Amino acid sequence: MSESVEPRRYFIRTYGCQMNEHDSERLAGALAEDGMVAADSVEDADVVVFNTCCIRENADNRFYGQLGRIKALKETRPDLQIAVGGCLAQKDRELIIERAGHVDVVFGTHNLSRAPELLARSRQEGQVVEILEELDAYPSALPAKRELAHSAWVTIQIGCDNACAFCIVPSVRGKEVSRRMGDIIHEVEDLAREGVVEVTLLGQNVNSYGRDLGAGQYRPQFADLLRAIDAVPGIERIRYTSPHPKDLRPETIAAMAECATVMPHLHLPLQSGSDKVLARMHRGYTAERYLDRLAAARAAVPDLAVTTDIIVGFPGETEEDFEHTLRVAELAQYDSTYTFVFSPRPGTEAAKMTEDFVSEEICTSRIGRLKELVDESALASNQARVGRTETLLIEGPSKRDPSMLAGRTEQNKLCHVRADAKAGTLLSAKVTYAAPYWMSGELVEVLREPRRAKTRIAVDVV
């Protein structure tokens, strides 16, 4: 009788945005379909996959640091396979091999589906590098292993046709390609049958969805997609990220207001409040136009929460320019912001503006001032909710206090509550305390038990 062979174990470490997180779910699904099982840690794995990001320099540094540390592990375990995929692999394939010769497989953003085959080839042939310049399979066409049973990412579009001076995405993700609406709806219907109640629609510029589809007079718009998913039985929450301010149409705002399951949360990246800087960034809107569209959304969608992205220290940004950004942030009254110091990415227009780079000291000062302003508006927004009853979708134990549960309100605000409930439970809680970026509350009642539970997979997001 032959001895059974233990399946190989994989571990995926993810850097970057939601798109990368979703790609990691698809990678996990492809590896599982190939017969592998998830490992609990890098040390327990036979295959370690780094799914990389190249939007900001600190993500690069963290990745290369991790890659250096794993070299010692591979020296003690020569059979350990190390694969690098994602945006940085797409952009810097040669540099990765030069800096880390112990990497076995390098693959890009367009060939996720081939990861198992490339790993198998590497075991026979040695180091394998395969970077496709065009998509071989839509990410959502691949099997997935999700971390949460009740919530799922759904890719509706890949690539980007914009030319923002600071952004490397068009180079590593390619041109904008919208997925057929019928395929998206079928995926969401399948997810609903599996017990998923919340979907987040992903794209580099979701509200330009559909402009590359259709023929003649009809082309589906993002608003059409929102309405179609709103009609899928079992889906209770629809979120999306990220829209572009220049493409935020009245139809999209109307769909947000009219669709019961589209959540009242809008992530609308500002990047800068200075018209001069916005023009140098090639963003396609002015601060006034941005605020007008934000006002239209708030007028149509009651209790709308608004979050944003802001870059501090874009080349040539003066103190006056930054003051304009502070002014817009004050008027916008954001619930939260993702603020970043400008990071020059090789291959972008802004990386060549070296004579206009803003000093680190000035950037540090400015981002501190911006954070102070946004902290105030975020705290005021959350304090206004004290005493209110919020509906929470439970995500699991709180990272702040494991004896509490963490859930998200309809506005995507984090709220901690003490309750005996599993991830995926829908409950109501009365808010009793507010901090700038989280709240806590008391359980009122459990509204719905989770529909289905799944095992957590080893996908580590950093």
Q: What is the CATH number of the domain that holds 20?
A: 3.40.50.12160
Task: Kindly state whether residues 268 and 358 are assigned to the same domain.
Answer: yes
- List b or e across 37-75, with b for residues whose CB sees 16 or more CB atoms inside 10 angstroms: ebbeebeebbbbbbbbbbbbeebbeebbeebeebeeebe
Q: Could you give the CA distance from residue 148 to residue 423 in angstroms, rounded to a whole number?
A: 8
Record the tokens describing residue 449, joined without a space.
Answer: 């038990």
CA 47 vs CA 40, 51, 85, 266: distances in Å:
12, 13, 13, 38
Q: Which two tokens stand for residue 275?
A: 């018209």
User: Of 136, 171, 190, which residue constitutes the final position of a domain?
Assistant: 136
CA atoms within 13 A on the CB side of 283: 27
* Stronger pLDDT, 278 or 345, i.e. the higher one: 278
Query: CA quadruple 377, 378, 380, 384: dihedral positive or negative?
Result: positive
- pLDDT band at residue 134 under the 50/70/90 scheme: low
Going by DSSP bridges, is the β-strand pair 47-52/414-417 parallel, antiparallel, or unpaired?
Answer: unpaired
Q: What CATH number corresponds to the domain at position 393?
A: 2.40.50.140
d(CA 400, CA 116): 37
Q: What is the pLDDT of residues 375-399, one digit of tens each?
A: 999 999 999 999 999 999 999 999 8
- Same-domain pairing of 327 and 402: no
- Looking at the fold, whether 270 and 256 belong to one and the same domain comes out as no
Let me know whether 238 and 292 are in one domain: no
In the chain, how many domains are there? Answer: 4
User: Taking 60 as the threshold, does the pLDDT of residue 318 lie above it?
Assistant: yes
Residue 102 included in any domain: yes
Which residues contact residue 384 at a Cβ distance below 8 angstroms, ignoring those fewer than 6 apart? none
In this predicted model, which residue has the larger pLDDT, 333 or 59? 333
Give the dihedral sign, CA 350/352/355/359.
positive
Are 377 and 415 in a shared domain? no
Closest CA relative to residue 188, chosen from 201, 204, 207: 201
Comparing 142 with 110, the larger pLDDT belongs to 110
pLDDT (mean) for 186-204: 94
Biggest CA–CA distance in the chain, Å, is: 79
3-state secondary structure of 196: coil
End position of a domain, from candidates 227, 262, 297: 262
Whether 50 and 131 map to the same domain: the answer is yes
Q: What is the mean pLDDT of residues 314-318?
A: 98
CB atoms within 10 A of CB 355: 7
**pLDDT of res. 147:** 74
pLDDT band with cut points at 50, 70 and 90 for residue 302: very high
Q: Report yes or no on 245 lying in a domain.
A: yes
Question: What are the tokens at 432?
Answer: 């009793």
Four-point Cα dihedral 91, 93, 97, 102, nearest 10: 90
Is residue 4 one of the residues assigned to a domain? no
Residue 141 inside a domain? The answer is no
Task: Let me know if 126 is exposed, middle or buried by CB neighbors in 10 A (0-12, 13-18, 19+).
Answer: exposed
Q: Is residue 3 part of a domain?
A: no
- CATH number, domain of 228, equals 3.30.750.210
* 56-95 pLDDT, tens digit each: 667 777 888 888 889 989 999 999 999 998 888 888 888 8
pLDDT at residue 224, rounded to an integer? 96
Helix (H, G, I), strand (E, B) or coil at 329: helix
Q: What is the pLDDT of residues 255-264, one digit of tens each?
A: 999 999 999 9
Determine the Cα–Cα distance for residues 462 and 444; give it in Å rounded to an integer: 34
354 and 440 in a common domain: no
Residue 453 has pLDDT above 50, yes or no: no
Cis ω on the peptide bond leading into residue 272 (within 30° of 0)? no
Given pLDDT bands bounded at 50, 70 and 90, which one contains residue 1?
very low
Handedness of CA 140, 141, 142, 147 (dihedral sign): positive
Reply yes or no on whether the pLDDT at 11 is more than 90.
yes
For 371, the domain range is: 264-384
Is 2 part of any domain?
no
Q: What is the pTM of this model?
A: 0.84
Query: pLDDT value at position 459?
Result: 52
Q: What is the pLDDT of residue 95?
A: 85
Look at strands 198-202 and 426-434 and give their pairing: unpaired
Q: What pLDDT is attached to residue 427? A: 98
Tokens of 18: 């939601």
Higher pLDDT, 366 or 96: 366
Looking at the structure, do residues 283 and 337 belong to the same domain, yes or no?
A: yes
Whether 143 shows a pLDDT value over 80: the answer reads: no
User: What are 14's strand-pairing partners?
Assistant: 51, 461
Domain final residue, candidates 72, 105, 136: 136
Q: Which residues contact 429 (CB under 8 A, 6 or more apart)?
A: 389, 390, 392, 407, 415, 417, 419, 441, 442, 443, 444
What gap in Å lies between CA 312 and CA 361, rounded to an integer? 12
For residue 355, being part of any structural domain is answered with yes
Amino acid at 414: L
Query: Per DSSP, what are the bridge partners of residue 82?
Result: 48
The mean pLDDT of the chain is 90
Whether the pLDDT of residue 455 is over 90: the answer is no
From 122-136, 175-189, 368-382, the region with the lowest mean pLDDT: 122-136
Whether residue 17 sits in one domain with residue 58: yes
Whether residues 253 and 272 fall in one domain:
no
The CATH number linked to 281 is 3.30.750.200
Same domain, yes or no, for 277 and 366? yes
User: Given a cut of 60, is residue 140 above it in pLDDT?
Assistant: no
Residue 357 has pLDDT above 50, yes or no: yes
Alpha-carbon distance 11 to 395, whole Å?
A: 22
For residue range 412-450, what is the model confidence (pLDDT) as tens digits? 999 999 999 999 999 999 999 999 999 999 999 999 999
In a domain, 448, yes or no: yes
Helix (H, G, I), strand (E, B), or coil: what is residue 436? coil
DSSP characters over 364-431: HHHHHHHHHHHHHHHHHHHHTTTT-EEEEEEEEE-SS-TTSEEEE-TT--EEEE-----TT-EEEEEE
Q: What is the pLDDT of residue 141?
A: 55
Q: Does 374 share its domain with 396?
A: no
Count how many residues are written for the chain. 462
Q: Band the pLDDT of 304: cuts 50, 70, 90.
A: very high
- pLDDT > 70 in the chain, percent: 93
